[in-house]
Amino acid sequence: MNYQNSQYQNSLAYAQHQDQQDPLANYREQFCHPVINGKQVLYFTGNSLGLMPQAARENINNELDEWANWGVEGHFHAKNPWVSYHETLTPQTAGIVGANESEVVCMGSLTNNLHLLFVSFYQPTAKRFKIISEAKMFPSDRYLLETQVRHHGFDIDEAIIEVAPREGEQLIREQDIIDVINANADEVALVFFGGVNYFTGQVFDMQKLTEVAHSVGALAGFDLAHAAGNIPMQLHDWNVDFAAWCTYKYINSSAGNTAALFVHDKHGNNTDINRFGGWWGHNKERRFLMENSFEPMTGAEGWQISNAPVMGMAVLKASLDIFHEVGMEKLREKSVKLTGFLEFVFNDIVNQFPHISLEIITPSNPDKRGCQLSIKLVGTDKTFFNALTEAGIIADFRQPDVVRMAPTPLYNNFEDVYRMGVTLKQLLATWK
């Protein structure tokens, strides 16, 4: 649904009416809302760390009780036996990214998982060794590419091709990406992008990029840190080769918690694919026989290294239960409308102060963005962001001059956005 032409109104009455009509409104109360310096803040940084689900504490306490009561026997006799705890997360995780259950597993951390996947899916040769990615990618992804390329003995500047926005533009044109892939058709081994660019919030057409990569004999993989739980995806149907994501942003699983990965069945069913092994990726029917020869499981589980960190996964389950209940379609419908309202309110306020240069660099087309809006502070520094924070608006700053704000549909509402606008107007009225 496209809300660009909706009749938004920058008023409290309009915001409250929208909240009254919101079928997801009650989910807001299933999260803990921070109170800082005695005041409940307006939280717009779910793109960095999601809020804590109320059920997380109960889930953790239940597992602590299992540990206290069972000790090591909890691996087999807890209500959710720890030896297979990760399996309880699989159906809900698959639903979030549009995958078969055999194609996903919750494990590890994001960049660790990507390194493990690169072992399998970046197999460069003397002729086909290049990786095509976006400029201004998240630094951890850039470090991943640099170290993988160096590990295989290639020159970084020659092997990594970054596609950047054109001069004077903020966003990358997808046709430019396609042109670069085709221009390097005989040498590209891998196309690797963030599904949603962390800096601008631009959503890339993962289906199209995968098709083009495959057309030249390359593979396609994605970092979905800013996409999972934010935008609907169909990784299996899009024929994506592999992907990984963290769960502490839009999926609200606590700082640095267990991540997840996707491996398409066409690869997951091939146990001969090169990989690094660990005992939790070994044939689970023979796992405790302590044999020397590694026999990987089929599916994404075959990329596991170690057993499940149950306490962290208990927190993750609290959020996944909510996602499963709501569904990505309903979340996306609210997200489009709520983000559109933030865009409208922001522009309405900023246009009242023509001497101040603030601009949204995220695509205006809802199909090309999730719920993040990146705001460029033209000609200023972090001072304005600090003023927002002191006024009770929790957002996110990225060097050199961008504030990222994400109205997250599970726990943000329209009144949050309206009140942000009131505060913004008060700050701009005194800004020099």
Mean pLDDT across 24-40: 95
Calculate what percentage of the chain has a pLDDT beyond 70: 98
Residue 172: other Cβ atoms inside 10 A:
21
Which residues belong to CATH 3.40.640.10 in the chain?
Answer: 60-325
Is 367:174 a contact under the CB 8 Å cutoff?
Answer: no
Position 399 confidence tier, pLDDT thresholds 50, 70, 90: confident
pLDDT in tens, 109-167: 999 999 999 999 999 999 999 999 999 999 999 999 999 999 999 999 999 999 999 99
pLDDT in tens, 315-330: 999 999 999 999 999 9
Residue 400: other Cβ atoms inside 10 A:
9
Which residues lie closer than 8 Å to 92 by C-beta, 6 or more apart?
320, 321, 323, 324
The pLDDT of residue 379: 67
Calculate what percentage of the chain has a pLDDT beyond 90: 93
- Average pLDDT score over the chain: 95
Which residues belong to CATH 3.90.1150.10 in the chain?
Answer: 12-30+327-430
Read off the pTM. Answer: 0.96
The pLDDT of residue 3: 45
Q: What topology is assigned to 12-30+327-430 in CATH? A: Aspartate Aminotransferase, domain 1 (3.90.1150)
Assigned CATH class of 60-325: alpha beta
- Does the pLDDT value for residue 53 go beyond 70? yes
Q: CA–CA distance from 397 to each of 85, 138, 146, 394, 405 (Å)?
A: 36, 14, 25, 10, 9
Is 377:403 a contact under the CB 8 Å cutoff?
Answer: yes
The pLDDT of residue 432: 65
Mean pLDDT across 342-358: 92
The rounded distance, in Å, linking the Cα atoms of 385 and 166 is: 27
